[in-house]
Amino acid sequence: MLRVIRVLLVGLVLPLGALAAVGGGALLMGEGRWGWGIAAFVGAVVVGVVALWGIFTMFVPGAGEEAAGIGWVSGFVLVFAAVFVGGIGVPGWMTLAGAEAVRCEVVSVDDGVWEDGVDGKYVTYSHVLACPGGYPATYHVNEQYVGTVDLLVDPDREVAPEDLRAAEFMAALGSWGGLPLAGLLVLLSAGRAIYWFRTSGPSSREPAPRS
């Protein structure tokens, strides 16, 4: 029974618990609850270290050399998954919460203005819109739209459509980056645990019968 518990802890509970703590910490800090958010991040670090220790050793003294490779790979995957989930995905998902999709008519659009950005120069086009409810009246983005444009808007008008567009990209990046990495982490940790379970039992140590 203890061996089964070790397999479940190392294969599923601890890796997913570490990522859940990272996501919870990001959520709490996004809500302004900094104390609880920091506590959650500290808990995520502790659980993450214990999870990797479990992958290396299966909590068996003296073990670990045979799993050094998968342990280091799992560590890198865990870090990147945490960044995608907690640093990119959760802020994007929180910003998009409550946003509504609207279709606006493009009344006019200018020829664009060149601006300096982190990746160099880019063009920003200013659109004058006619939207349901009169909001937004303008839309500034690095694409030129004619006819109609579909936007995400905040009903409370606290987050600009341009910021929601950026949040939509962050949310997609968090999903497409974080979720596959989380799946890969579980695949590695579960594989390690199952391999240990199948090779460490009493039957695996019995000598082969003599012919």
Domain count, the chain: 2
Tell me: do 6 and 64 sit in the same domain: yes
Characterise 36 by phi-psi region: left (phi > 0), alpha (psi -120 to 50), beta (else): alpha
- Tens digits of residue pLDDT in 116-175: 766 778 899 999 999 999 999 999 998 999 999 999 999 999 999 999 999 999 999 999
172 lies in a domain?
yes
Residue 159 maps to a domain: no
Q: Identify which has the larger pLDDT, 38 or 204.
A: 38
Same domain, 183 and 114: no
**Token pair of 79 as six digits:** 């870090």
- Domain co-membership, 84 together with 173: yes
Please tell me the predicted confidence (pLDDT) of residue 122.
83
The reply to whether 108 and 40 lie within a common domain is no
Identify the pLDDT of residue 36. 95
Would the pLDDT of 106 be above 90?
yes
Residues 56 and 106 in one domain: no
Asked whether residue 52 falls in the same domain as residue 88, the answer is yes
Same domain (yes/no): 107, 145: yes
Q: Are 71 and 64 in contact (CB under 8 A)?
A: yes
- Tens digit of pLDDT for each residue in 72-84? 999 999 999 999 9
Q: Which residues touch 104 (CB under 8 Å, ≥6 apart)? A: 129, 130, 131, 132, 136, 139, 148, 149, 150, 151
Virtual CA dihedral for 202, 207, 209, 211, nearest 10 degrees?
160
Contact, 64 vs 1, CB < 8 A? no
In the predicted model, what is the mean pLDDT of the chain? 90
For residues 172 and 119, state if they share a domain: no
Assess if residue 48 is contained within a domain: yes
Lowest mean pLDDT, pick from 100-109, 180-189, 199-208: 199-208
pTM listed for this prediction: 0.81
Expressed as residue numbers, the domain containing 49 is 2-97+168-205
Q: What is the mean pLDDT of residues 64-74?
A: 84
Q: 34-57 and 14-30 helices cross at what angle (nearest 10)?
A: 170
